[in-house]
Chain A
Amino acid sequence: DMIPYTPTLASSSLLGRTTTSTFVLEQPRCVFSTMENDTNIIIWLVVATPEGRWVNFNNSLGPGTKARAFQMFPSDTSAYMTLGTTILQYPCLKNPGDITVLRVGSETSCAKNNSRPTCNGPLPFPGPYRVKFLAFNGSEPVAETDWSAPITLKEAKAYNSIPTMGSRHSGGMIAITTILSILFAVLLAGLLAMIIS
């Protein structure tokens, strides 16, 4: 069934909310509350590109299959599934002041390892991406949330493009140069007058 929850990015007080290859989501706490006690349920995160065709997204393609493998993304598949956790990890009760987030893209070690299709690998391009949570009981999808708003990552500019020229001379430097030059010229004139006379 559809759960009316939209996954959102974490609070903007986190500087690493979006980087060039990762982003941080709020955990879906208190979202799957009807199933909280069923320990067989695993919540997966689906990350998709616009070609994923959200309208007709096939929920029954399970995690760990080639069609939803991180390593096949984005060339051979338009979505992958990762961060599978039991529902017990998202309890409704949370301590105030706790930061409950999910960092998408943090596992660099398994990014190229085909035997780990549910790897939470770094995202290969700046996006935009959309995500949703999908709950599976065994191999059956049982609940899903809405798709999130499009998430775009940061893009780094080339450091060569930083302009370092354009240093205009400050007023102080011009004052020092002109005044000292004039004074020096006067002194030289005085020296000449001394020697000649």
Chain B
Amino acid sequence: MAKSSDGIHILQGLLVFGNVVIGMCGIALTAECIFFVSDPHGLYPLLEATEKDDIYAAAWIGIFVGFALLALSILGIVGVIQCNRTLLLVYVILMLITYAFEMASCITAATHRDFLTPNLFLKQMLERYEKPETDSNSDNWKTERVTETWNKLMPQNQCCGVQGPSDWQEYTSAFRITHSDADFPWPRKCCVMNPQESPVNLDACKLGVPGYYYNKGCYDAISGPMNTHAWGVAWFGFAILCWTFCVLLGTMFYWSRIEY
């Protein structure tokens, strides 16, 4: 048993408390990452098509790190209370491995979040939305999913294009190849629809009469959830790691003070 001085008892108490917090944060991290991976806003196909979907990989890592933190925190509590040097050594080593993974997740989420600019989504939309099917199959599924996502996104959020309907006028696009400018200055989904899924007034929509088409861009509806997702993973993970750093330093100090 350790030297029975108050200092050691206080340290024990602090370490147990630290581990309890780590355990709870692990559960919270898992829950948060499961929420993000479930993609409640249906935006994953847009990311997938850009091939910069690593913020999802970061969330997946977060799920497993959360479980690991929970398990290891229990191990840590047991090791601290029993003053068992072996257990604590195993605890420190496994915690460091988990720390490395979580670090990778945070940095990935933060880095890839920086790639998500309006121009990225604009170019992808112009390139892929309603692109006619070609013979080479490799990209068709991406095109289909991007088209499906945009067709769902625009009526749902009452928006059109990335910065507005004039995206379709200012730039050429795959959409323009199959839909003439005179009939479709912007996609039909940008028109205000009645409950029967047809435009309230098609001519007014084509003319651009305010109130018959959606004037605002969808970028906010896309970047809002994605930023929340990326920053949620990155900063919460960062906070957990800072706390874990303190607990681990305390554990190492405690380890050096107890005897076999």
Interface residues of A (CB under 8 A from B): 10, 13-17, 19-22, 24, 99, 101, 103, 105-108, 121-122, 154, 156-160, 162-164, 167-170, 172-173, 176-177, 179-181, 183-184, 186-188, 190-191, 193-194, 197
Question: Are A103 and B180 within 8 A (Cβ)?
Answer: no
With A15-B208, A21-B181 in contact, is A169–B114 under 8 Å at CB?
Answer: yes
Binds A, one of B4-12, B72-80, B150-158, B166-174: B166-174
Binds A, one of B25-33, B41-49, B249-257: B249-257
Chain B binding surface SS class: helix
Determine the chain A residues whose CB is within 8 A of the CB of B106 once the complex forms.
176, 180
Question: Are B256 and A197 within 8 A (Cβ)?
Answer: yes
B183 CB-CB contact with A under 8 Å: yes
Interface residues of B (CB under 8 A from A): 89, 92-93, 96, 99-100, 103, 106-107, 110-111, 113-115, 117, 119-120, 122-123, 126-127, 165-166, 169-173, 176, 180-183, 185, 203-204, 206-210, 213, 215, 231, 234-235, 238, 241-242, 245, 248-249, 252, 255-256
Question: Are B207 and A24 within 8 A (Cβ)?
Answer: yes
A167 to B256, alpha carbons, bound, how many Å?
Answer: 46
With A106-B182, A159-B126 in contact, is A13–B245 under 8 Å at CB?
Answer: no
A154 to B249, alpha carbons, bound, how many Å?
Answer: 65
Question: Are A173 and B114 within 8 A (Cβ)?
Answer: yes
Residue of A nearest to B242 (CB): A183
Complex A-B: 18 CB contacts under 8 Å: A15-B207, A16-B208, A20-B181, A21-B180, A105-B182, A156-B169, A156-B172, A157-B172, A158-B171, A158-B172, A159-B171, A164-B120, A173-B113, A176-B238, A180-B238, A190-B248, A190-B249, A190-B252
Question: Are A17 and B127 within 8 A (Cβ)?
Answer: no
A123 to B46, alpha carbons, bound, how many Å?
Answer: 34
Q: Which of B107, B119, B126, B210 contacts A173 (CB 8 A)?
A: B107
- Chain B nearest CB from A96 CB (Å) reads 15
Chain A binding surface SS class: loop
- Chain B nearest CB from A73 CB (Å) reads 15
The 8 closest A-B pairs by CB, nearest first: A15-B208, A16-B208, A173-B110, A159-B126, A122-B182, A21-B181, A162-B123, A190-B252
- Chain B nearest CB from A8 CB (Å) reads 16
Determine the chain A residues whose CB is within 8 A of the CB of B213 once the complex forms.
15
Residue of B nearest to A109 (CB): B183
Question: Are B208 and A14 within 8 A (Cβ)?
Answer: yes
Residue of A nearest to B121 (CB): A164
A193 to B117, alpha carbons, bound, how many Å?
Answer: 45
Question: Are B209 and A14 within 8 A (Cβ)?
Answer: yes
- Chain A nearest CB from B50 CB (Å) reads 9
A10 to B234, alpha carbons, bound, how many Å?
Answer: 50
Query: Which of A101, A121, A184 has the most C-beta atoms of chain B within 10 angstroms of its own C-beta?
Result: A184
Determine the chain B residues whose CB is within 8 A of the CB of A156 once the complex forms.
169-172, 176
Q: Which of A13, A16, A159, A173 contacts B172 (CB 8 A)?
A: A159
With A14-B207, A22-B182, A108-B180 in contact, is A191–B96 under 8 Å at CB?
Answer: yes
A187 to B241, alpha carbons, bound, how many Å?
Answer: 11
Determine the chain B residues whose CB is within 8 A of the CB of A21 once the complex forms.
180-182
Determine the chain B residues whose CB is within 8 A of the CB of A108 once the complex forms.
180, 182-183
- Chain B nearest CB from A119 CB (Å) reads 11
With A15-B213, A16-B207, A190-B252 in contact, is A162–B119 under 8 Å at CB?
Answer: yes
Q: Which of A101, A157, A188, A197 contacts B96 (CB 8 A)?
A: A188
Query: Which of B93, B99, B208, B213 has the most C-beta atoms of chain A within 10 angstroms of its own C-beta?
Result: B208
- Chain B nearest CB from A159 CB (Å) reads 4
With A158-B171, A172-B234, A190-B252 in contact, is A13–B96 under 8 Å at CB?
Answer: no
- Chain A nearest CB from B47 CB (Å) reads 14
A159 to B120, alpha carbons, bound, how many Å?
Answer: 11
